[in-house]
A and B are shown apart, each in its own frame.
Chain A
Amino acid sequence: AQSVTQLDSHVSVSEGTPVLLRCNYSSSYSPSLFWYVQHPNKGLQLLLKYTSAATLVKGINGFEAEFKKSETSFHLTKPSAHMSDAAEYFCVVSPNSGYSTLTFGKGTMLLVSP
């Protein structure tokens, strides 16, 4: 069984300040973990993924995430927010192999103010 919890439904930051979106997961096996981003009225786009290689994963648009097995966390960070980062972000967990489906978190809405 697997589950994912995004700890904040909304996060507000000012442009130029750091971004932290928190995600904890539960999995009975070694998981793959993803962050997807959804801009308003758009489909989802992959930001980055962890699949048991390096624990610090770099993605597009300056985002990165660190897999911490001891804390069962996969938090998403960015050093400096841009207005274009305003979107909804989804943390997703999956088994690391085999036929399986993804489990999505409920999403975190990132608001960026000037």
Chain B
Amino acid sequence: EIVLTQSPTTMAASPGEKVTLTCRASSSVSYMHWYQQRSGASPKLWIYETSKLASGVPNRFSGSGSGTSYSLTINSMETEDAATYYCQQGSSYPLTFGSGTKLEIK
């Protein structure tokens, strides 16, 4: 099973601040996918195939990485970006999710 480790677990950012969330895989994966989950809501696909933004995702978001190290970056934090972000690998079964990074607004 591929274990995904996200860091940090929680963080707070000020409006306008650049934010980087990290996801490390225990074995190499071909792509990483990211989901945003706001409080009380279902997860939403946010970034897929490492760097492609899902429909409606603002272009201040970006994704990058390869092998065992991936990241999600917010170029300029906005209030609406406060949420929990999960990474997910779909390269091998069982499919696995990271434990999430809770991003709060300062």
Instruction: Tell whether A pairs with B.
Output: no
A: residues with CB less than 8 A from B are none
